[in-house]
Structure 1
Amino acid sequence: MSEHADHERSSGSARLLMGTAWAVLLLGLWLWGRQVTDIRQGTAAPAGAGDLASVGRPPDAELPPAARPLGHALPQRIDIPDLGVQAPVVARGLDRQGAIDPPPYDQAGVVGWYAAGARPGAAGAALMVGHVDTETRPAVFYRLSTIRPGENVRVVRDDGKVAEFTVDDVRVQERDRFDARQAYGQHRPGRSELRLITCGGTFDRVSHSYTANVIVSAYLTGTSL
């Protein structure tokens, strides 16, 4: 997403911008949840928009094998060394509309974990979302679109273990053609997977929203203490 310092806009417009971006993301999650589990209830951004555009990896790049999933423990912190990110993780539930309640606007350095889904390190696809910017400065996932396959993501858990993930896919999905199953569904059965999600594309001055979502996929490749 763009740096808000370059824009002179009102507080109300900024709130609308963030609210719209989150609504697009979380509506996709809600619809995917209904489909799979049958629950009834600008300026240029860091990454350009594209319909399932993938950063991909060099043909000769070798990624490590997947590690055996861990038990169920709660995430406490996420570290992304290549991005300089070290952020607390908080559990988020669903709001009255059936969408995840994101971290508050005044907690731009916090990452939200969808607590009703998989736990990071356990089998399944754990979902984490974070803001890209605030009204005045970049937020926790501002540089998320610059991460590349092969780089590492570490999740500190409350059982004393650190789940170590390797990025294997980075995509930018157009908001109007959002594929929730691709974004949130498990890519390979039996693995422990992680999704890091934020907004991307370009800022649309008409709709006061961004045109895409950045979706980083990673899988468990190790554990440390």
Structure 2
Amino acid sequence: MAAPDRPAGGGRMLTGVTWAVLLLGLWLWGRDITDGSGGPAPTTGDVAAVGRPIGVRLPPAHAPLRAAVPERVEIPSVGISAPVVPRGLDRGGGIEPPSFDTPQTVGWYDGGTKPGAAGAALLVGHVDTETRPAVFYPLSAAHPGEQVRVVRSDGSVAEFTIDDVQVFTREHFDAQKAYGPRKDGRAELRLITCGGTYDRATREYTANVVVSAYLTGGSGAAA
């Protein structure tokens, strides 16, 4: 996958305005729960679809699994395999990002849904640091029909199928469209990083990549 078009040693992806937009969306999403309610991807308009091939057959949804904490996420098609750590909300009401000391780690918002249970679970990760690619650098190369596996604390593996890849620009961000469940009662997953183009002046990315997937299988203790 082509490297982002930016100067050598580019900026950290989840900083400044782009990270603030992501946090705002997660904060709004988190309030709804509490209240009971690669390279830069192409962007056209406010929301752009990425790699949505015609004729891809998607499998039927699997019934939600018993809730269990995620420990590892794997997307074999793009070479992602990484540990997952829980992340809560910071004092400003946004989800705490994964530490730049561990850029190959994925953060799971533990105030929301556990992957495999009914609802939309959120996994976030950096695309790069100041010096090198990070865990979700290849994420924008994922395509519908490809598999995401989440290894869970009870020994089970929740198997998801990607059904949508979108880029949301920061100017017109829609938290519900990005993070909300697509179908009631279904177990879903959102994998989130930055995309769009890299702004050399502000040293920020212009959008967020959101990969959506839904549960299509499971193995192990809770399957």
Please name the residue that 2:146 is paired with. 151
AA paired with 1:116? Answer: G
AA paired with 2:50? Answer: V
Deviates more, 1:165-174 or 1:58-67: 58-67
AA paired with 2:29? Answer: W
Whole-Å separation in 2 of the counterparts to 1:79 and 1:32: 25
Whole-Å separation in 2 of the counterparts to 1:131 and 1:3: 17
Please name the residue that 1:122 is paired with. 117
AA paired with 1:91? Answer: P
Closer, same or farther in 2 for the Cα pair 1:146/1:8, shift >3 Å? closer
Please state if 1:23 is matched with 2:20: yes
TM-superposed CA distance for 1:94, in Å, is: 0.4
Conservation of the 8 A alpha-carbon contact between 2:122 and 2:189: yes
Q: How does 1:1-225 map to 2 (within 5 A)?
A: 2=4, 6-7=7-8, 14=11, 18-20=14-16, 21-34=18-31, 37-38=34-35, 45-50=39-44, 51-55=46-50, 57-225=52-220
AA paired with 1:79? Answer: E
TM-superposed CA distance for 1:183, in Å, is: 0.8
Aligned to 1:61, the other structure's residue is in SS state coil
Conservation of the 8 A alpha-carbon contact between 1:196 and 1:217: yes
AA paired with 1:81? Answer: P
AA paired with 2:26? Answer: L
Conservation of the 8 A alpha-carbon contact between 1:90 and 1:113: yes
Aligned to 1:24, the other structure's residue is in SS state helix
Whole-Å separation in 2 of the counterparts to 1:8 and 1:130: 18
Whole-Å separation in 2 of the counterparts to 1:89 and 1:222: 20
Instruction: Show structure 1 runs of 4+ deviating over 4 A.
Output: 35-39
Conservation of the 8 A alpha-carbon contact between 1:105 and 1:134: yes
Closer, same or farther in 2 for the Cα pair 1:2/1:189, shift >3 Å? same
Conservation of the 8 A alpha-carbon contact between 1:46 and 1:143: no
TM-superposed CA distance for 1:23, in Å, is: 2.1
Residue segments in structure 2 that go unaligned for 5+ positions in a row? none
Q: Deviations over 1:45-78 (max 9, x none)?
A: 4312332101253342210000000011000000
Percent pairwise identity: 61
Closer, same or farther in 2 for the Cα pair 1:56/1:36, shift >3 Å? farther
RMSD: 2.0
TM-superposed CA distance for 1:205, in Å, is: 2.4
TM-superposed CA distance for 1:34, in Å, is: 3.4
Conservation of the 8 A alpha-carbon contact between 2:41 and 2:50: no
Whole-Å separation in 2 of the counterparts to 1:8 and 1:190: 44
Conservation of the 8 A alpha-carbon contact between 1:120 and 1:193: yes
Conservation of the 8 A alpha-carbon contact between 1:45 and 1:203: no
TM-superposed CA distance for 1:37, in Å, is: 4.5
AA paired with 1:34? Answer: R
Q: Deviations over 1:4-44 (max 9, x none)?
A: 6x4257xxxx46x64213222111111333356449xxxx9
Compare the two structures and name the one with the higher helix fraction: 1
Residue segments in structure 1 that go unaligned for 5+ positions in a row? none
